[in-house]
Amino acid sequence: MYALINTTVKAKWISSWTYEIDSDGGRGYTPHTSDLDNSCMIYQIESATFDVHPDNIWVECNSSVTSQDFYYEPSTQTIKPLPVADKPE
């Protein structure tokens, strides 16, 4: 499997949560995202590579990698799970 990485876009992670009450009285926690330092966004996972824009690169990855849950760290050239701030109880 291969991950398509955009080297110009930082990955986003859930950095905090806020408790909110909407106009209908519904309540719940809303996630807030921030750019993750030293990261690049994974756009998609494919079984084979194809030509892409020069800002993008292909990196071999494990079949369990998903673009929603992982990011690429260019300084170590590794794919890592995205951190998620603890959701309040």
pLDDT attached to residue 20: 87
Whether 16 is covered by a domain: the verdict is yes
Q: What is the value of pTM for the model shown?
A: 0.85
In the predicted structure, residue 21 carries a pLDDT above the cut 90: no
Q: What's the gap between Cα 78 and its chain centre?
A: 13
pLDDT attached to residue 27: 84
Each residue of 27-37: pLDDT tens digit? 889 999 999 99
Which pair of tokens denotes residue 89?
């109880």
Structural domains of the chain, count? 1
Q: Containing domain of residue 67, as a range? A: 2-81
- Distance between CA atoms of 31 and 85, rounded to whole angstroms? 9
CB 61 within 8 A of CB 69: no
Whether 87 is covered by a domain: the verdict is no
Whether 86 is covered by a domain: the verdict is no
Sheet holding 41-46, edge to edge: 41-46, 2-6, 56-60
Three-state DSSP state, 47: coil
Confidence of residue 40 (pLDDT cuts 50, 70, 90): very high
